[in-house]
Amino acid sequence: MKVTLEKFPLINGACALGKRYRSSFEIIASILDIAVEGVSRFVIANRLNTNYMQLRRYLSYLVRMGFIDVEADGKQILYKTSAKGLEFLRLYHALLEMLLENESQVHAGVVCGHVSRQVTVKGRGRRSFGL
């Protein structure tokens, strides 16, 4: 059961969970989803709609964690999602699907806000990703 990010589109520049900005998890999941077939940094930056500096930080983190493999294809360097990265994507999409399936009962934006506050309070905000 592969769930792609297209199922959760951006609405007026906001993510499907009602937030204005993308979280680190959303950006990481997007990068991993884009790099499934092996692509260059340029392709990732264009599809992700981000700048080079931010992309470089995320890519170096994902390579260090083993979520992305770096392959050389002639002169071009390609980034490809590893098995560990695919497992992360599977779990991420499963959790996102669970949140959106219960959206009629509890607005997912409220749930995400609460989870974000809890994570930040415990010292696991953006810095925990080493970004």
What does pLDDT average to in each consecutive run of 10 residues of the chain (131 residues)? 44 51 90 94 93 93 96 90 96 90 60 51 52 58
Q: Which CATH number fits domain 8-126: 3.30.499.10, 1.10.10.10, 3.90.226.10, 3.40.50.2300?
A: 1.10.10.10
Half-sphere exposure of 32 (CA within 13 A, CB side): 27
- Per-residue pLDDT at 121: 47
Location of structure tokens 């959760």:
8
Between helix 41-48 and helix 52-65 the angle, nearest 10°, is 120
Query: What contacts 29, CB < 8 A, 6 or more positions away?
Result: 5, 88, 89, 92, 93
| Residue ranges of domains in the chain | 8-126
Per residue in 96-126, pLDDT (tens digit) is: 888 888 765 555 555 555 555 544 444 555 5
Residue 18 contacts residue 108 (beta carbons within 8 Å): yes
What whole-number distance in Å separates Cα of residue 57 and Cα of residue 103?
33
Q: What is the torsional sign of CA 61, 42, 70, 68? A: positive
What whole-number distance in Å separates Cα of residue 94 and Cα of residue 26?
13
